[in-house]
Amino acid sequence: MLTGKIIGLGSYLPPKILTNDDLSKIVDTNDEWITERTGIKRRHIADAVEDKASTMACKAALAAIEDAGISGSEIDLIVAASTTPDVVFPSIACCVQGAVGADGCACFDVNSACPGFIAAYNTAQSYIESGNAKTVLVLGAECLTNFVDWEDRGTCILFGDGAGAAVLRAEEGMKNSFIMKASMNRGACLHCEAMKQPKRVDEEGFLKSTFMYMQGREVFRFVVTEVPALIDELSKKYEFDLGEVDHFVFHQANRRIIEATAKKLGVSLEKFPMNIQDTGNTSSASIPILLTQMKKEGKLKKGDKIVMSSFGGGLTWGANYFEY
């Protein structure tokens, strides 16, 4: 059957780096605590003027298109994921369209918090597998540091900025299989309720609601319970053995989450690539940034079987299984 194969990958990470030692000068924390509890050593921080979710998306998109060796005019759909867009409209996808010379193609954004890239990827695959698109650009782009409370040591140490992109092209191959879930009933532990509005800053509690709020322990428990169960469900529903999977490309949120998931699934940690030490949690951008790095390091081979999985605000969680 026709399915989308990844033919190009690209990413953009802003040059400014914030180390754990830098953070210890802002909040009461230290390198040892952050490294031990999260695996993070440093993260990239957007420049307040140069870098926005949309501009970072454009840079990642251009890199992915160059890697694919195609021209922008060959693209017939762009789907961008972001929870932290700098534009209300046009969409980030439209901004990217302008930058890559894909005039006339369909463009829209999705917001599914951290699993946004998987939601965008599955949407792109559904367009391709139903014969509605041949070449699709899929993105995740985030500027989370704009929404972080720099006085809250429980959250500000986790996040970084960046963007990643993949070009998919219709080819004969194995179908993309996926399951996506959400549970608003359990969403109170992770949210960002309001966008900043100049005239509402004086309203009681308004400014606070523009920051990300997270009960880390609650989120941690949710993830290490639901994500292994979801991957088990995925493998049963689509009849594959976890032993056949070459790479478990997971949202980079916390090294301990990945270790706990690998253990629960009974899969070697070696099959879980990680770059969280250098990027922190970049929400919907984390998976395409990691895929790009894997490709550059020669770790992706045509035919490799991949499970991607992510989780975040909503609460939302999802996973898919496909052939590279």
Contact footprint for ligand UT7 (CB under 6 A): 29, 33-34, 37-38, 114, 153-154, 157, 190, 214, 216-217, 219-220, 223, 253-254, 281, 311-312
Closest residue to ligand UT7 using C-beta atoms: 216
User: Between residues 159 and 324, which has the closer beta carbon with respect to ligand UT7?
Assistant: 159
Kindly tell me the number of DSSP H helices and DSSP E strands found in the chain.
11, 13
Two structure tokens written together for 309: 């999985």
Residue 225 Cβ, how far from ligand UT7 at the closest point, in Å?
12
Instruction: Collect all residues with Cβ–Cβ distance below 8 Å to 209 and sequence separation of at least 6.
Output: 192, 193, 194
Q: Is 214 exposed, middle or buried, given 0-12, 13-18 or 19+ CB atoms closer than 10 A? A: buried
Two structure tokens written together for 184: 């608003």
CA–CA dist 239, 232 (Å, integer): 10
User: Between residues 137 and 315, which has the closer beta carbon with respect to ligand UT7?
Assistant: 315
Taking the mean position of all CA atoms in its chain, how far away is CA 210?
21
Two structure tokens written together for 201: 């800053």
CA–CA dist 322, 125 (Å, integer): 10
User: Between residues 217 and 263, which has the closer beta carbon with respect to ligand UT7?
Assistant: 217
Catalytic residue among 58, 251, 275, 320: 251
Residue 215 Cβ, how far from ligand UT7 at the closest point, in Å?
8
User: Is 275 annotated in the active site?
Assistant: no
Residue 189 Cβ, how far from ligand UT7 at the closest point, in Å?
9
Q: Count CB neighbours of 32 within 10 A.
A: 10
Q: Which DSSP state fits 202?
A: T
- Given a contact cutoff of 8 angstroms between Cβ atoms, the answer to whether 57 and 65 are in contact is no
User: Between residues 38 and 145, which has the closer beta carbon with respect to ligand UT7?
Assistant: 38
Catalytic residue among 95, 105, 114, 156: 114
Catalytic residue among 20, 176, 281, 320: 281
User: Is 95 annotated in the active site?
Assistant: no
User: Is 251 annotated in the active site?
Assistant: yes
Q: Is 218 exposed, middle or buried, given 0-12, 13-18 or 19+ CB atoms closer than 10 A? A: middle
- Given a contact cutoff of 8 angstroms between Cβ atoms, the answer to whether 14 and 46 are in contact is yes
CA–CA dist 120, 91 (Å, integer): 14
Residue 283 Cβ, how far from ligand UT7 at the closest point, in Å?
6
User: Between residues 9 and 219, which has the closer beta carbon with respect to ligand UT7?
Assistant: 219
Residue 321 Cβ, how far from ligand UT7 at the closest point, in Å?
21
Residue 187 Cβ, how far from ligand UT7 at the closest point, in Å?
12
User: Between residues 10 and 39, which has the closer beta carbon with respect to ligand UT7?
Assistant: 39
Q: Which residues are catalytic?
A: 114, 251, 281
